[in-house]
Structure formats: C-alpha cells, structure tokens
A = this chain, B = another copy of it.
C-alpha cells in the first residue's frame, strides 16, 4: 500500500544570493528563474499530486506570509505556518512536526526546501514515495542523497555506510557521516568513495523527529511542547492572538540552528539516519552561475530571458525582462536588470553576491536590498 505523507515546504529563505532580482521582501523562492512559475510554485506543483492540497504545508516567516499565500492559491489558507522570526531550519521543522502530529500522530512528513530545481519530476516523485516508506519501515530519519554530477564545494555530502534492503537495488544505505562543504580535493575524494550530495530533502514520521529533538535539542523541544500545550490541539496556522504570543515568546528563547547540526548529524552518529540514493537531476540553485548552468543555452553558451542580444558574447547569463540588453564581446558575465538596480558581474564570482549585499547595506545602499 502507498504510504500517505505530508509535504512540508520550507519557504523562509532570504533574498541575498540573487540580488538585484531577489530582495529581503522578494526572496529566491518567489523568483521565476526558469519559466513562468516561481520556484516555490514549482515545488508545490511537484508534490501536490502526491500529498494533496490538504496535506501540503508551507512554513515561512511572518513577513513573507502574505506574498506566499498570494503565490500559492491552490493551497488552503490554513496550511501556511508563519514563524515569528527566522531561527534557521530546526525550530521551523519542529513547528511543522508539531502541526503534523496535531493532525495525525502517525503521519510521515517530507521536508522540501522551496527553492530547488528538479529536472526529472517523475523520478523525484518515485524517490519521495520510496523515502516515505523507508521512514515508516525503519522509524529513522531519511535523507535524500543525490548522485553528484561534479565535485561541488558548496554542498554538504553524505558518506554512505552499509546497504539496506539489498542495497544497490533499493538505493537505501545507512549514513556513516555527514561532511559539510568540502575543499575541492576532499570533494573529489568523496565522489570517488560514492558519497552523495545532501539535498536537504528529508522524510520521517513527525513523532520520530520530535522524539529525537527531545533527545538532542531539549531547548527547542521544550518550546515546542509549551506551544503545543497552549494550542491544545488547534492548528498553528491562523493562531489566536494568545497562541501567537506564546509562539513568539518561545521562539525568542530557541537557538538558531539548522536541522542538520541540531538533529541529523547527532542521529547519524547513533545510526539513526538512512539515505536514499537518487538521481533525478537536482540543484539547490545557489547562485546566478547555477541558473546559467540549468538554463538552455545558445551555441555560444549564452542563456537568458527577456530582450537581449549578444554580439560576440560567450557563456553569459542575461536577465532582461523590460529593457533591451546588448552585450558587445563579453565572456562569463552575468547581467541582471531590474527597475532600480543593475548587476554586471563575473559569472565565476557569482557566489560572492551574498557578500555584495552585505556591502551594499554597509555602504548606505540598504534601500536596494529590501524590496
């Protein structure tokens, strides 16, 4: 029998890596980087046929709530959870687990970042269904491991342990350990060893996650328990003013920590994490260079959208929704045109856009990083 599950889309990211297109009030998940739909809309589309609109939840921060509800009209208003403040992914996923437990104490939840790119949607869905089954069978944390395409240094890696279920057949393995963003030499080594990219896509029973949170993150778990008690079985979406006050108060006390550091790494070292190997064409879309890589390019390697013309341009990315952009003999350049700001950058330095936004804020251009 098919394992039913909740899809929990984490949509609280900030707008720093895709400046000037992204801003703090127009974050990456709301951008239309690959077509007519925003990344979060594409993410919801990928899971809706599996979990249904009732069991598809969005967790975001309060300031993005309205924009996301507007963006995802197919979802009931009661499926949007708003964090009072961003505290990285552990409290966010904990809050979602609480909501899922409220609705169904035995439910499996699948955690999906809102802003990733997937090539093979059918393969992606097969993987998620298999992950949900694994999460029930082993009562462990399941993390999707992507077969690496190249030694990316911006990703985390999963070092596989013993094969489960006959191994190579099912693609399920024990997780030996996690390795965060490695230097190039180590990345190449990890690939030779058959390690996988940690996609940040997870499957587990809400009850399993909460139990492990209690063990590894008692402060977060305590806050969640207080919130759960105050909620008294009611949904955490559209909370009463009183409940909202409790959530805000408890959130303030929680540490800001990722689910990886908070739970997965610790559970992994105790043999409680399973990885499911997959190869559905995936990227976390971490920079303009990644968008360029994932876009269809012309013979000279240029990609873009809108009205642009490259005369002797090679391997460039152009975002030109409104005005005509003409490139005269450029190579490896990004041009991102917005109504009030323009970025012209070296494609190979697109990882530095985040620091660039910090610099803009420092130099008095903060109004250009908000909306």
Contact = CB atoms under 8 A, between A and B. Distances in A.
Interface of A: 20, 309, 311-312, 320, 323-330, 333-335, 337, 339-346, 348-350, 352-353, 356, 359-360, 363, 365, 368
Contact of A345 (B323, B324, B330): B330
A330 B329 contact: no
A286 to B, nearest CB: 16
17 contacts: A320-B342, A323-B339, A323-B341, A324-B341, A324-B342, A324-B365, A325-B341, A325-B342, A325-B344, A326-B344, A326-B345, A327-B344, A328-B349, A329-B346, A330-B344, A333-B333, A335-B342
A359 B311 contact: yes
B329 A349 contact: yes
A339 B339 CA distance: 9
Contacts of A326: 20, 341-345, 356, 360
Contacts of A339: 323
A322 B60 CA distance: 34
A174 to B, nearest CB: 42
A90 to B, nearest CB: 32
Contacts of A352: 311, 328-329
Given A324-B365, A328-B350, A330-B344, 18 more contacts: A20-B324, A309-B360, A311-B359, A312-B349, A323-B339, A323-B340, A325-B342, A326-B343, A328-B334, A328-B345, A328-B349, A328-B352, A328-B356, A329-B348, A330-B346, A333-B344, A335-B344, A337-B342
